[in-house]
Chain A
Amino acid sequence: MKIHIKNGRIVDPASGRDETGDIAIAAGRIVSLGKVSADFTANRTIDASGLVVAPGLVDLAVRLREPGHEHEGMLESEMAAAMAGGVTSLVCLPDTDPPLDEPGLVEMLKFRARNLNLARLYPLGALTRGLQGDTLTEMAELTEAGCVGFSQAEVACRDTLVLHRALQYASTFGYTVWLRPNDSWLGNGVAAKGPLATRLGLSGVPVIAETIALNTIFELVRDTRARVHLCRISSAAGIELIRAAKAEGLPVSCDVSVNHLHLTDVDIGYFNAAMRLTPPLRQQRDRDAIRAALADGTVDALVSDHTPVDADAKNLPFAEAEPGATGLELLLGLTLKWGTESGLPLAKSLSAVTQRPVAVLGDALDSLGSSTGRLVEGGVADLCLFDPAAHWTVRPAALRSQGKNTPFAGYELPGKVIATVVGGHVAFEAARD
């Protein structure tokens, strides 16, 4: 398959390129970028006038719900959602049932994903068996099976001794450990501690649940020099600690979710369970700090934290409702919305969902690492073509994800994905008016 993309606005955050031009794709790779020679004969020509041609999005936090939670999401539905959202590479979490703690499970998932031939799948393996926090998993085997790092997902590792050893072991082989900083004793509430939780009588999670965990992790990193990626930072104080840790030279990176970039606890309103998220939404000044830190690079990546939840699991009293929101199809729109509101150039906004998450993955991507999340001649042809001028309204029923639960229902978002190209084939095309 040879594709000729014509007259697109080519935006590559990694190189800073932002200019109108053509792209030629052959055998899954970008063969020319900017100008395409007249003797290139394509099977397919895409007119990209008025469209942005960007690297496919890279999402570091996706729950596909397989295996074990197929009533909430299947590989087919969630991969289709990724395509509709322009996401061509995604990292999935190990909190499936059973958890991804055995190479066979990871191989099966990778195999199923390869057969679908949609987004590239990079699983995180469980850090401990069954996510129980007692016994380390076979990290080398899991890495061979395709894991790009190791995580406890939302299950905190309460035993500091186990966590210390896990980091020691991971650092021996250069594996990255992905942790969400949350003190399991303080972090049990359902809303952020603050005026809203107090008024509504919801149990609150204090900021110190995050900062105590961060300080513990930093001490362990100082001791072990393990590389740690910190997931879903929610507080201004947490951001400050990470800024200081990076200045100190600790090998840490971090991400924030689109939910925390745009919402605060007051959006819970009258117990709206769509706002039941983990970590809980915090206050305005936390959101402001998150937005600024994503712009200045303290936060490395923006993630969808895609978590499809069954409608029945949301139609419950707030505290009993299952946390999570669908996000793959909103990632681009919410990234652009943040970028526009923050006055950032397009390439800079897009870097938070392309080049910068790839940097977090680092060596774990092997040969794809040099071209995923960027546009390079000779590199892999993973592209997202979107209309930056088109605005669309979030209608849960129209989402491809099996999870229709979103806090952004009714929002008008910029940036409509027109086509998604993975490995040189057009995997998604929107109906064009």
Chain B
Amino acid sequence: MLSKRNPQLNAHGELIHLLSIEGLPKAVLTQILDTAGTFLSVNDREVKKVPLLRGKSVFNLFFENSTRTRTTFEIAAKRLSADVINLDIARSSTAKGESLLDTIANLSAMHADMFVVRHSESGAPYLIAQHCAPHVHVVNAGDGRHAHPTQGLLDMYTIRHYKRDFTQLTVAIVGDIVHSRVARSDIHALTTLGVPEIRAVGPKTLVPGDLREMGVRVCHDMAEGIRGADVIIMLRLQNERMSGAMLPSAGEFFKNYGLTPEKLAFAKPDAIVMHPGPINRGVEIDSAVADGTQSVILPQVTFGIAVRMAVMSIIAGNNA
């Protein structure tokens, strides 16, 4: 039987796994962001290490390829003094004859303390969290279209860093929302932290009307979508969606929704531009914007390490 209570929290309401931002109280999000703040200085030291996870083994289980996210988790774990084991498992371990849960059982037998999991199927980290030993913690590093909670948290860290207060902001998320786990995690985090206006911007194939059910305003017109925005989050357009039934071409997408200096002028003058990376220059974002003064895309990456350190140190300190 699957547990009915939120599997991320123990009986005391403390975070033991990070699977999704949905359902986490604001206090937990704030605790992570505050803790990340204290780790940011570690990254500036000459010896960039703290001993919080000394002797612990962190397994990076990437069932779907991602060099960037895996690297930032690896750096974060190493800065916490953990032993890091990277496993690139081809998309479907079942194709090799071993089931996902058998893989997990084998790795658990190697005395893993934490699994950082990326998987192409929504919900896979839940399955792992429900079947691993009680002392093992699971961090979702992106599952299907469902969630990418550490990206959501580093986006929140970035917004708080530049804008301080969430409760007066207008945030526009632009692009392929329907297939984006980043967008879902951002939307849950923004609503939890009290952002009054969240807009989802894109064509109806990528931003269907039922996204309203997540508490966002749906805009199909770019100018309307980013007018007066404080924060613009551009999403990466996956190659496989650039042409086909979702969109006719990358060029046409750029024409309508690509962020150019002209379109950025609709936003507030001090608006920040974010992107989870890697960026497609000339597809969703113009180089002049990506490299411009309002872009905070590279600071996002730096904050991402501190946020992942915060998540790993917090969950490692809480028992099931």
Binary CB contact string for chain A from 292 to 333 against chain B (1 if under 8 A, 0 otherwise): 000000000000000000001001111110000000000000
Given contacts A195-B214, A270-B3, A272-B2, 19 further A-B contacts (CB under 8 A): A193-B210, A198-B211, A199-B22, A199-B214, A200-B122, A201-B147, A202-B144, A202-B145, A269-B4, A270-B2, A316-B100, A316-B127, A317-B121, A317-B127, A317-B144, A318-B123, A319-B123, A320-B94, A320-B121
Tell me whether A271 and B127 are in contact (CB under 8 A). Answer: yes
CA distance A409 to B184 in the complex (A): 31
Q: Judge whether B119 is part of the interface by a CB distance below 8 angstroms.
A: yes
Which residue from chain B places its CB closest to the CB of A204 in the assembled complex?
B210
In angstroms, how far is the closest chain A Cβ from the Cβ of B115? 14
Q: Report which residue of A193, A200, A270, A274 has the largest number of chain B beta carbons within 10 angstroms of its beta carbon.
A: A270
Cβ contacts A to B, 20 pairs, < 8 Å:
A194-B210, A195-B210, A199-B22, A201-B146, A201-B181, A201-B184, A202-B144, A269-B4, A270-B2, A270-B3, A270-B7, A271-B127, A272-B2, A273-B127, A315-B99, A315-B127, A316-B100, A317-B100, A318-B121, A410-B1
Known contacts A269-B4, A270-B126, A317-B100; is-contact A201 B214 (Cβ 8 Å): no
Q: Could you tell me the distance between the alpha carbons of A296 and B267 in the complex, rounded to whole angstroms?
A: 56
Roughly how many angstroms separate A198 CA and B94 CA in the complex, as a whole number?
26
The CA of A315 and the CA of B6, in the complex, are separated in Å by 19
Residues of A close to B131: CB separation below 8 A: 315
CB distance from B100 to the nearest CB of A (A): 7
Bound-state CA distance A194–B144 (Å) is 17
Bound-state CA distance A202–B99 (Å) is 21
Query: Within the complex, which residue of A195, A200, A316 is in contact with B146, where a contact is CB–CB below 8 Å?
Result: A200
Interface bits B249-287 vs A (CB < 8 Å: 1, else 0): 000000000000000000000000000000000000000
Report the bound CA distance from A320 to B121 in whole Å: 8
**A409–B122 touching, CB < 8 Å:** no
Nearest-Cβ distance from residue B301 to partner chain A, whole angstroms: 24
The closest CB in chain B to the CB of A197 belongs to B210
Q: Measured between alpha carbons, how far is A29 from B57 in the docked complex, in Å?
A: 71
- Of all chain A residues, the one with the shortest Cβ separation from B1 is A409
What residue of chain B has the Cβ atom nearest to residue A190's Cβ?
A: B122
Q: Is B87 an interface residue (CB 8 A)?
A: no
B121's nearest neighbour on chain A, judged by CB, is A317
Query: B132 to chain A: closest CB distance in Å?
Result: 13
Name the residue on B nearest A313 (C-beta): B99
* B 49-81 contacts with A by CB, 8 A: none
A47 CB, nearest partner CB in chain B, Å: 37
Decide if B124 is an interface residue (CB 8 Å cutoff): yes
**Does B101 count as interface, using CB distance less than 8 angstroms?**
yes
Is the pair A269, B124 in contact by a Cβ cutoff of 8 Å? no
B210 partner residues in chain A, CB cutoff 8 A: 193-195, 198
CB distance from A320 to the nearest CB of B (A): 6
Q: How far is the CA of A37 from the CA of B143 in the complex (A)?
A: 70
DSSP majority for the A interface?
loop
User: Are A200 and B99 closer than 8 Å at their CB atoms?
Assistant: no
B213 in contact with A269 (CB, 8 Å): no
Binding site for B on A (CB under 8 A): 193-195, 198-203, 269-274, 312, 315-320, 409-410
Q: Which residues of B contact A271 (CB under 8 A)?
A: 122-123, 126-127
Per-position binary interface string of chain B over residues 199-230, scored 1 when its CB falls under 8 Å from any chain A CB and 0 otherwise: 00000000000110110000000000000000
Kindly identify, within residues 138 to 160 of chain B, every residue whose CB is under 8 Å from any CB belonging to chain A.
Answer: 143-147
CB distance from B205 to the nearest CB of A (A): 13
A193 to B210, CA, bound (A): 9
A319 to B121, alpha carbons, bound, how many Å?
7
**A317/B122 in contact, CB under 8 A:** yes
Is B122 a contact of A318 with CB atoms below 8 Å? Answer: yes
Choose among B101, B123, B143 the residue that contacts A315 (Cβ–Cβ < 8 A): B101
For A318, list chain B residues within 8 Å (CB): 121-123
Q: Report whether A201 and B122 are in contact in the complex, using a CB–CB cutoff of 8 Å.
A: yes
A272 to chain B, nearest CB (A): 5
Decide if B124 touches A201 in the complex (CB within 8 Å).
no
Q: When A198-B213, A200-B146, A271-B126 are in contact, do A317 and B119 touch as well, CB less than 8 Å? A: yes
CA distance A199 to B177 in the complex (A): 12
In the complex, chain A residues whose CB is within 8 Å of the CB of B214: 195, 198-199
Cross-interface CB contact of A195 among B1, B122, B123, B213, cutoff 8 Å: B213
Q: Which 7 A-B pairs have the closest CB atoms?
A: A271-B123, A201-B145, A201-B146, A317-B121, A195-B213, A317-B124, A201-B122
- Given A270-B7, A316-B100, A319-B144: A200 in contact with B123 (beta carbons within 8 A): yes
Within B92-147, which residues are at the interface with A (CB < 8 Å)?
Answer: 94, 99-101, 119, 121-124, 126-127, 131, 143-147
Report whether B213 and A319 are in contact in the complex, using a CB–CB cutoff of 8 Å. no
Q: Which residues of B are found within 8 Å of A193, using beta-carbon distances?
A: 210
Alpha-carbon distance A28/B1, docked complex (angstroms): 43
Cα distance, A236 to B85, chains bound together (Å): 51
Distance A318 CA – B2 CA, assembled complex (angstroms):
13
Complex Cα–Cα for A203 and B6 (A): 22
Closest chain-A Cβ to B202's Cβ sits at a distance in Å of 15
Closest to A203 in B: B145
Please give, as numbers and ranges, the residues of chain A lying within 8 Å of B145 by CB-CB distance: 201-203
- B144 adjacent to A199 (CB under 8 Å): no
Contacts of B126 in A (CB 8 A): 270-271
Q: Is the CB of A317 within 8 A of B123?
A: yes
Nearest CB of chain B from residue A433's CB, rounded to whole Å: 26
Residues of B with C-beta under 8 A to A269: 2, 4
C-alpha gap A152/B155 in the complex (Å)? 49
Beta-carbon nearest neighbor of B6 in chain A: A270
Contacts of B94 in A (CB 8 A): 316, 320
In the assembled complex, the Cα of A430 lies from the Cα of B146 at a distance in Å of: 46
Q: Which of A194, A270, A274, A312 contacts B99 (CB 8 A)?
A: A312
Task: Give the residue among A198, A203, A272, A274 with the most B Cβ atoms within 10 A.
Answer: A198
Task: Determine how close the nearest CB of chain A comes to the CB of B185; give it in whole angstroms.
Answer: 10
Q: Which chain B residue has the least Cβ–Cβ distance from A273?
A: B127
Residue among B121, B181, B210 with most chain A CB within 10 A: B121
Residues of A within 8 A of B3 (CB): 270
A317 cross-chain contacts in B, Cβ below 8 A:
100, 119, 121-124, 127, 143-144
Residue of B nearest to A275 (CB): B2
CB distance from A316 to the nearest CB of B (A): 7
Least CB distance from B275 to A in Å reads 20
Chain A residues with CB under 8 A of B99: 312, 315-316
Assembled-state Cα–Cα distance A193/B6 (Å): 23
Instruction: Tell me the complex Cα distance, A376–B193, Å.
Output: 68
A319 and B122 in contact, given A195-B213, A199-B214, A201-B144 (Cβ under 8 angstroms): yes
